[in-house]
Amino acid sequence: MTATTPTEQTGLDTIAELAAQLRVDSVRSSTSAGSGHPTSSMSAADLLAMLITRHLRYDWDDPRAPANDHLIFSKGHASPLLYSVFKAVGVVSEDELLNGYRRFGQRLEGHPTPVLPWVDVATGSLGQGLPDGVGVALAGKYLDRLPYRVWVLCGDSELAEGSIWEALDKASHYQLSNLIAIFDVNRLGQSGPTELGWDLDAYTRRAEAFGARVLEIDGHDLAAIDGALTAAAEAAGSGDRPTVIVARTIKGRGFSEVENKEGWHGKPFPEDMAERAIAELGGVRNLVMRGPGPEVQTEPPQQAPARADAAPRPEAQANQTQPRYEIGEKVSTRKAYGDALAALGARDPKVVALDGEVKNSTYAMEFASAHPDRYFEMYIAEQQMVASATGLAVRGYKPFASTFAAFFTRAYDFIRMGAISGVALRLSGSHAGVEIGADGPSQMALEDLAMMRAVHGSMVLYPSDATSAVALVEAMADTPGISYLRTTRGSYPVLYPSGEAFPVGGSKVLRSSGTDDVTLIGAGITLHACLRAAEVLGEDGISARVIDCYSVKPIDAATLAAAADATAGRVVVAEDHHPEGGLGSAVAGALLAGGRRELSLAHLAVREMPGSGTGEELLAWAGIDTDHIVAAARQLL
């Protein structure tokens, strides 16, 4: 049976046929690929059939239409269902579904990614789709001011992830009635039953406790599904909180051999079994059906709703020019970050900022004061902060997210998935290294450079003074992918005149001569120690070249190689970071990749577990202060 009937009023019998088609195609595609998750797809087929025919307002021929609804599969392993939906709306062919799923070089990957234009974010690492959806919904309600809805399909296994509840908490705080989560409660996880099984009341109580409006339904009753989706859609335009639809479903629905049976998660059916499943489901169908298009905008976007946390502050005057500092003036790079971000926001309305409730330490408060309507406080929820930034980036904004550098470790999976999604995230981590002093090791980021360097396509920047921090914030605004700025707590002398250029991938040679004996390389706090060390060495007639390695990734391999050549391979690298994966690793990797064989490298780093103390005490204890740099240089000579 074939039909091409885009309509909002498709009958329930036809929608039931479409749901059966989605199940059949989920079986066919996964069996053809020899891998995949057909049973997880089959449980949610009725929900998706109803959603795409009557409620999802979407122009499938123009996936970037501004008023399109958004559909996010937080349970990304149910990709057979999503790709079967794409076939059902006519944007993916049967040939691609059956021969392109999970194949090398093809776009129907095992879990969805934005290589497909109808996919906003990469999912598959569970507990991330709903948090990302919060960011998209924030953009819709407060920035785009468009009536699109954000529909997120969640699996019940991922409801054990704390990030799901962080998402509902922030969605309720920001009154995101345009966010609708559908919980596919099919009872079975990968290795056995889920924590709560079919206890829908428990899910309801939890969601309500986080401020959501909850509707419980039978996830295979099409009339009940339609009623819940209708109620959620109506609330999206007039409500003040997100909606959660808790749907009781059966894993493997429609094929009696696997329905509600353990041991079938992530397993395709063998060919003979697939034939039986298809027969029981009524055979292959080729329905092509589309629901309503996006709401036509006949008037300018409505005014953004008032936010209690975004009241105008007349005293906050945003400077539209770059902040300027005098050479020798003591300014922390975290303060320069805040100054630069506020100035950037005045010139570019696409710039938005988020923070993890430490804005008075990261200095994101400068942006929050100047542009309160584009600042989103995520409180102590770093995963949700990065996820919200991801959703905002999906809508074309330029998010800058800041917190203590150490706390990005909590959100690392979201950063990693942001790279897979291909979004541009700009992250600023303050209070890095033992330099912060008495707070102790729980607050000292000593792994962040390694962590951020490992992200695919990332850019890692580490300014040593306020002028370079300002320039690098500007560079981040126009850079794709994941960029990370490491800032310092203490105030140190400005080294460069205002307006100095700091190209990404470059470095600065602050001291050099034609007779240099050794190269000293630092960034952030250790660059200042390197400069003092060069002065001490000079008193003994030892000439030291000093390099500010402000761009850790990409790194200035040519300048490093030239310095190593000029100083007979004698190089000292000092960093306020663990020895693994940071500045020293980047320098050594660049020099060795260049084929250099004669290299005498002294790598000073934090090699033991620090405690509390003053910054000066801890830098000396770690062996990365001026005295230790001098000693290392003399040892090389």
Bridge partners of 607? none
The mean pLDDT of the chain is: 95
Q: Is the pLDDT of residue 478 over 50?
A: yes
Q: In the prediction, which pLDDT does 311 show?
A: 59
| d(C-alpha 365, C-alpha 342), whole Å | 9
Determine the average pLDDT of the residues in 585-591. 96
φ and ψ of 71, to 5 deg: -120, 120
Q: Is the pLDDT of residue 612 over 90?
A: yes
The pLDDT value recorded for residue 10 is 81
Query: By three-state DSSP, how is residue 377 classified?
Result: strand
What values do phi and psi take at 600, rounded to 5?
Answer: -110, 95
Q: What is the pTM of this model?
A: 0.95
Q: Where are the alpha helices (DSSP H) in 395-435?
A: 412-421
Q: Specify the fold of 2-287.
A: Rossmann fold (3.40.50)
pLDDT of residue 225: 98
CB 28 within 8 A of CB 72: no
Three-state DSSP class for residue 443: helix
pLDDT at 314 over 50: no
Query: Which residues 6+ apart lie within 8 Å of 140 measured at CB?
Result: 146, 147, 148, 150, 178, 395
**Residue-wise pLDDT tens digits, 540-567:** 999 999 999 999 999 999 999 999 999 9
Identify which of 489, 530, 438 has the alpha carbon closest to the alpha carbon of residue 331: 489
Is 454's pLDDT higher than 70?
A: yes
Paired tokens of 173: 């705080």
Question: pLDDT grade, residue 200 (50/70/90)?
Answer: very high
Residue 150 pLDDT greater than 90, yes or no: yes
Fold agreement (2-287, 508-636): yes
Q: What is the pLDDT of residue 6?
A: 45
The domain defined by 508-636 folds into: Rossmann fold (3.40.50)
User: Is 593's pLDDT higher than 80?
Assistant: yes
Q: How confident is the model at residue 296 (pLDDT cuts 50, 70, 90)?
A: confident
Are residues 82 and 117 in contact, defined by beta-carbon separation less than 8 angstroms? Answer: no
Q: Catalytic residue at 271?
A: no
Q: Where do we find the tokens 């020019």?
A: 321
Select from 449, 623, 599 the least CA-distant residue to 524: 449
What is the spatial distance between Cα 549 and Cα 562, in angstroms, rounded to a whole number?
Answer: 14
Q: What is the mean pLDDT of residues 565-577?
A: 97
Above 50 in pLDDT, residue 247? yes
**What's the confidence (pLDDT) of residue 300?**
58
4-26 residue pLDDT tens: 444 445 899 999 999 999 999 99
- Under the banding of pLDDT at 50, 70 and 90, the label for residue 305 is low
- Residue range 251-266, pLDDT digits in tens: 999 999 999 999 999 9
Give 500 or 320, the one with higher predicted confidence. Answer: 500
Residue 351 forms beta bridges with which residues? 398
According to the model, what pLDDT value does residue 298 have?
A: 61
Please tell me the predicted confidence (pLDDT) of residue 450: 98
User: Contact at 8 Å (CB) between 373 and 420?
Assistant: no
Task: Report the alpha-carbon distance of residue 23 to residue 25 in Å, rounded.
Answer: 5
Fold for domain 312-493? Rossmann fold (3.40.50)
How confident is the model at residue 36, as a pLDDT? 97
Distant-in-sequence, close-in-space partners of 552: CB < 8 Å, separation ≥ 6: 449, 453, 460, 461, 462, 523, 582, 583, 586
What's the farthest any 2 CA atoms get from each other in the chain? 91
Beta bridge partners of 76: none
CA-based R_g, the chain, Å:
28
Q: Is residue 282 very low, low, confident or very high in pLDDT (cuts 50, 70, 90)?
A: very high
Q: Which of 382, 435, 447, 575 is catalytic?
A: 382
166 vs 127, 201, 324, 344, 375, CA distance in Å? 10, 20, 39, 29, 18
Nearest in space to 36 (alpha carbons), one of 23, 26, 25:
26
Write out the two tokens for 577.
């970071």
Strands, sheet with 425-430, edge to edge from the N-terminal-most edge strand: 375-377, 351-355, 398-404, 425-430, 482-486, 459-461, 551-553
**Average pLDDT of the segment spanning 198-203:** 98
CA–CA–CA angle 580, 583, 586 (5° rounding): 85
Interatomic CA distance for residues 518 and 630, integer angstroms: 10
Structural domain boundaries of the chain?
A: 2-287, 312-493, 508-636
Given a cut of 80, whether residue 493 has pLDDT beyond it is yes
Rounded mean pLDDT, 237-257: 96
Asked whether the predicted pLDDT for residue 614 surpasses 50, the reply is yes
Averaged pLDDT, 84-110: 97
